[in-house]
Chain A
Amino acid sequence: MPAIPSHVPEPSRTDPALIRNFCIIAHIDHGKSTLADRMLQLTGVVEQRQMRAQYLDRMDIERERGITIKSQAVRLPWAPSHDEGTTHILNMIDTPGHVDFTYEVSRSLAACEGTILLVDAAQGIEAQTLANLYLAMENDLTIIPVLNKIDLPAAQPEKFAEELANLVGCDPDDVLKVSAKTGLGVDALLDKVVADIPAPVGVKDAPARAMIFDSVYDSYRGVVTYVRVIDGQLNKRERIRMMSTGATHELLEIGTNSPEMLAADGLGVGEVGYLITGVKDVRQSKVGDTVTSQHKGAEEALGGYKDPRPMVFSGLYPLDGSDYPLLREALDKLQLNDAALVYEPETSAALGFGFRVGFLGLLHLDVIRERLEREFNLDLIATAPNVVYRVVMEDGSEHTVTNPSEFPEGKIDEVYEPVVRATILAPTEFIGAIMELCQTRRGTLLGMDYLSEDRVEIRYTLPLAEIVFDFFDQLKSKTRGYASLDYEPTGEQTSSLVKVDILLHGDKVDAFSAITHKDQAYAYGVRLVAKLKELIPRQAFEVPVQAAIGSRVIARETIRAIRKDVLAKCYGGDISRKRKLLEKQKEGKKRMKMVGSVEVPQEAFIAVLSSDDSAGSGKGKK
């Protein structure tokens, strides 16, 4: 192991020529966190005995599911073997690895001049990695292709080096081969970062402009904002201004991470570090925004800022209605750390009080729901996820529909639904199965490329609504788990969409309304009506269960009236038993939700709405 570098340049006084800003693009499980761990050790910022696996992943859920949700930046001193006298500063920016966080990834990439493309030597590149690679290429980043896990018996370094070389446009011999686990080749990789990645370029004397690439809520310190300084310098104790909102804050602390927070005098051109202003809510410190000095600040913000836009909505309802205030409190707390999380109160005739919650995507939904249940001990019913529709009426008025039950009545001119460009990577033997799946999900083939002899990249345009409903699980099962998927929103399209309502005894049940393509409406109606017939107990009267589009009934079942509900015998004077039976039945009745005059067991809602067995599962790991 090389000696710990001496004469380490200090923040705010570091020559940009010595700085290298880079990130690591990798698929979940391909070893990014382990590689980061090795770099922390090799550069001496974390001592051996303090080392723990996946040092940078803070949240339990991240560590457990092996995914990184929040990115961070670490300042690593490194004296390369080809220039041992000069200690360079390497800022490693850890990027989120999932499709839902594309925007955050893009901001992390914008903070870098180069990226390590890390690929498992036994698995090859995956769709999400490819998507992020394209993103890095669009940002003109220098790409260092690296194969990891070359110590694994199943590794095929030659094959996948070829694949990477084709994608990046280099020679297969230029692909570095490392084992993050053993540390093999990691020092060479750090050397290559210094050698290949350009130093940042900025205007030293210009008004300060720093780009926020992450923002994290810490219960002790408030919001910690991570920035990359583009021009000028930010200094401690000055007042700063957020350019998107104009809000000003006092800079309570400025510093770098090594990897713990370390206060500094300031940050200069090309440097990466954190700011603390005392704000309590990450929405006041938005990813992509530009930070400048309040006094003689910049006029023009850096480009590329976007407000986070939720793509998928789901209604979250506490199973026990009295938990509603608790759910609100929990969402409030999570929002402190998640600018993309939006919600507003919603009332469902069937489910009571809850929230309509907007998410960046399915993983985001999954993570939030899991955190609500685990960290806040809530039992929730989550309605089936849906996308946002834009409905234009014949009179020209327009509605944005985030909840199917709000789909407007009356004369509709056009309905627009969001579409995505989906990229699927899979072994060639599954091409047929994948195309068939995409076809039934109203997909349009955009193109297909062979990554290597036996792996193919298939691109489709698909309605997002088709993806949020169990697409990923279907894809996995049809390809025996070999396919990987990435998608990015590309706009909207008009479609023949209809709202299917479910009526119980003539009353519409808002929670069961769904928007589907008209060709799928019938199947949806039949399926749901049959399921409800099975789940709802017989009532004192006959209950028709209908699926309808507007006033047109498309499916119907009947729950026959119960004819006998009486115990004939008296149990030999054991009236206590009879009374206790009554008490038990009353308890059971309490767990029923009244929908009009029909008693519907909680379980029926969960079974029908739950995305557990459709869209939600399996998103975390791969």
Chain B
Amino acid sequence: MPSALPDGEPVPADGALPASALAGAADRPLGFYLHVPYCATRCGYCDFNTYTATELRGTGGVLASRDNYADTLVDEVRLARKVLGDDPREVRTVFVGGGTPTLLAAGDLVRMLGAIRDEFGLAPDAEITTEANPESVDPAYLATLREGGFNRISFGMQSAKQHVLKILDRTHTPGRPEACVAEARAAGFDHVNLDLIYGTPGESDDDWRASLDAALGAGPDHVSAYALIVEEGTQLARRIRRGEVPMTDDDVHADRYLIAEETLAAAGFDWYEVSNWATSDAGRCLHNELYWRGADWWGAGPGAHSHVGGVRWWNVKHPGAYAGALAAGKSPGAGREVLTDEDRRVERILLELRLREGVPLSLLREAGLAAARRALSEGLLEEGPYEAGSAVLTLRGRLLADAVVRDLVD
């Protein structure tokens, strides 16, 4: 999650939700995001809420350490149980992200998952993912995760090129992520993702093609490809400002995206979200789709974001403050917002347009419909789905998704 938290109203000390949030909950899937805010080193491009220290002291002298982190997080899962009350839903997806989740012992991740199983129950076909750093896993680690119930794993590969990894401050050696895929397969993981980043300063079109080829060669069933965003306040932003590394042009990003689409499609991958491709519907990341479809998820951990029934809230960022709140029996929530009907309409357009299924035209008002017709004539929306009542982005439209959204919400 990003370094800055939004403004919002305060979260009650017990974390209670307004009654409206739980109305009709049974019809919506429920997921859990578990944030692990630790990294061995800080990457120059990263503005997520993560810390390299292993011990951080919070208010009231509560010690948040990597070693007792799983216990603290389990406390929040129990809080979630209280807040959601008699919500009967089993959990459909769990996603452990970071930071670097695999800096924790595999048993810690399994224990965190176990708390969710104990408090809520897991659906029989639940998708249980963890992110993993290629340098911090080995076959034994992976076997423990698999045995503990994890069935999907996502490796941060980023690039196959040493000089690109260096700019990104990634410490793994080229080839290691591909080896991880094989190890994960051997450990019995059905679904394996590789995360890639394109548009890093110094990366060429051919470097990018090489990264895609290397990723595909390893045989994942899911690939995420993100354009490198230089966030304010990061080391990379400072280096670019000082002129030490060049800024990547938006047109280059567009070119790389087209290369990704072409290469991945040729290898049998279909896009299902602007930055995500999978070999089959089963290979899609269901948890990721919860975000885009406005479903409910509880984000546990420092700085994690949650959404339940039109209420969005976010936790305090600092692991010490986070641990301190839970130790005092309070919600670690830092702020929240209760969405209006119009907010929810706008969000649905904003989020669902990123998906292959698109946005139902019935969500649009008159000006938005006129904008959709314009977008159609400009080749930004697909004709077939439009005739059938949905706004679905074309390849060119995917590259201009934010501009299309700005018009459709009118």
Give A residues with C-beta under 8 Å from B: 540-541, 560, 562-580, 582, 585-586, 589
Asked if A574 contacts B314 (CB within 8 A), the reply is: yes
What residues on B are CB-neighbors of A562 within 8 Å? 250, 400, 403
Of the residues B307, B347, B403, contact of A573 by C-beta under 8 Å: B307
Asked if B229 contacts A566 (CB within 8 A), the reply is: no
How many Å lie between the Cα of A562 and that of B227 in the bound state?
Answer: 16
What residues on A are CB-neighbors of B305 within 8 Å? 572-576
How many Å lie between the Cα of A573 and that of B34 in the bound state?
Answer: 12
How many Å lie between the Cα of A560 and that of B251 in the bound state?
Answer: 10
Asked if A571 contacts B2 (CB within 8 A), the reply is: yes
What residues on A are CB-neighbors of B399 within 8 Å? 563-566
Asked if A540 contacts B406 (CB within 8 A), the reply is: no
Asked if B291 contacts A570 (CB within 8 A), the reply is: yes
1/0 per residue, CB under 8 A from A, across B371-410: the answer is: 0000000101000000000000000001111110110010
Interface check B350, CB cutoff 8 A: yes
Q: List 27 A-B contacts (CB under 8 A).
A: A540-B378, A562-B250, A563-B250, A563-B400, A564-B253, A564-B399, A566-B398, A566-B400, A566-B401, A566-B403, A568-B226, A569-B226, A569-B275, A570-B291, A571-B1, A572-B97, A573-B307, A574-B6, A575-B307, A575-B350, A575-B351, A576-B8, A579-B343, A579-B350, A582-B350, A585-B402, A586-B409
Report the nearest A residue to B197, measured CB to CB: A568
1/0 per residue, CB under 8 A from A, across B26-58: the answer is: 000000010100000000000010000000000
Known: A540-B400, A562-B400, A563-B254. A573 touches B33 (CB 8 A): yes
Asked if A572 contacts B48 (CB within 8 A), the reply is: yes
How many Å lie between the Cα of A582 and that of B97 in the bound state?
Answer: 26
What are the 9 closest A-B residue pairs judged by CB atoms, nearest first? A563-B254, A572-B1, A566-B401, A573-B305, A564-B254, A568-B227, A565-B403, A568-B226, A576-B6
Given contacts A540-B400, A565-B402, A573-B306, 6 further A-B contacts (CB under 8 A): A563-B399, A567-B402, A573-B1, A573-B304, A574-B1, A576-B312
How many Å lie between the Cα of A562 and that of B254 in the bound state?
Answer: 10
Report the nearest B residue to A580, measured CB to CB: B6
Closest CB in chain B relative to A600 CB, distance in Å: 16
How many Å lie between the Cα of A589 and that of B409 in the bound state?
Answer: 13
How many Å lie between the Cα of A577 and that of B274 in the bound state?
Answer: 18
Asked if B275 contacts A568 (CB within 8 A), the reply is: yes
Closest CB in chain B relative to A210 CB, distance in Å: 64
How many Å lie between the Cα of A568 and that of B312 in the bound state?
Answer: 21
Known: A576-B337, A586-B406. A564 touches B250 (CB 8 A): yes
How many Å lie between the Cα of A577 and that of B347 in the bound state?
Answer: 11
Closest CB in chain A relative to B8 CB, distance in Å: 7
Closest CB in chain A relative to B48 CB, distance in Å: 7
Interface check B257, CB cutoff 8 A: yes
How many Å lie between the Cα of A14 and that of B79 in the bound state?
Answer: 100
Residues of B265-316 contacting chain A, CB below 8 A: 274-275, 288, 291-292, 297, 299, 304-307, 312, 314
Closest CB in chain A relative to B40 CB, distance in Å: 20
Closest CB in chain B relative to A218 CB, distance in Å: 51
What residues on B are CB-neighbors of A574 within 8 Å? 1-2, 6, 305, 314
Interface check B143, CB cutoff 8 A: no
What residues on B are CB-neighbors of A580 within 8 Å? 6
Interface check B346, CB cutoff 8 A: yes
Closest CB in chain B relative to A563 CB, distance in Å: 4
Asked if B402 contacts A568 (CB within 8 A), the reply is: no
Report the nearest A residue to B343, measured CB to CB: A579
Of the residues A540, A541, A567, contact of B229 by C-beta under 8 Å: A567
Report the nearest B residue to A570, measured CB to CB: B291
Closest CB in chain B relative to A141 CB, distance in Å: 67
Of the residues A541, A566, A568, A579, contact of B347 by C-beta under 8 Å: A579
